[in-house]
């Protein structure tokens, strides 16, 4: 392995890199968890801003059992579907209705 002009002989090399959370919490002036994810309400809106939604690995939300939802694509896709249905319902004058969140969150943890 080479580091600059130096060479380190090794049989095994382990590479670890961190990632930085989205700065969306800063942009929104919203409360974040220690990883920088935006703490959202149960409908994925930013508390105090019912028309701003945060989904995917930028959102910090726990399921009905208090477990944090993982920041993975299947969860983000379900959250996106939920918010889309909620916005369609609002546009149709049905208020804040949408599919039950508990049904979505349960499926997130049921998958292997």
47 and 33 Cβ atoms separated by less than 8 Å? no
Q: Write the pLDDT tens digit of every residue in 34-60.
A: 989 999 998 999 999 988 999 999 999
Q: Write the pLDDT tens digit of every residue in 19-31.
A: 777 899 999 999 9
pTM of structure: 0.70
**Buried b / exposed e across 59-95, counting CB within 10 Å, b at 16+?**
bbbebeeeeebeeeeebbebbeebbeebeeeeeeeee
Crossing angle of helices 101-110/73-91, nearest 10°? 170
Q: Which residues pair with 53 in a beta bridge?
A: 45
């Amino acid at each position: 392995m080479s580091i600059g002009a130096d060479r380190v002989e090794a049989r095994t090399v382990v590479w670890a890199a961190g990632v930085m959370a989205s700065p969306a919490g800063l942009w929104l002036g919203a409360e974040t968890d220690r990883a920088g994810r935006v703490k959202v309400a149960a409908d994925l809106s930013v508390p105090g801003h019912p028309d701003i939604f945060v989904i995917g690995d930028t959102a910090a939300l726990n399921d009905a059992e208090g477990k944090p939802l993982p920041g993975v694509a299947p969860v983000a896709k379900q959250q996106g579907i939920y918010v889309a249905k909620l916005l369609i319902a609002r546009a149709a004058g049905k208020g804040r209705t949408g599919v039950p969140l508990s049904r979505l969150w349960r499926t997130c943890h049921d998958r292997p």
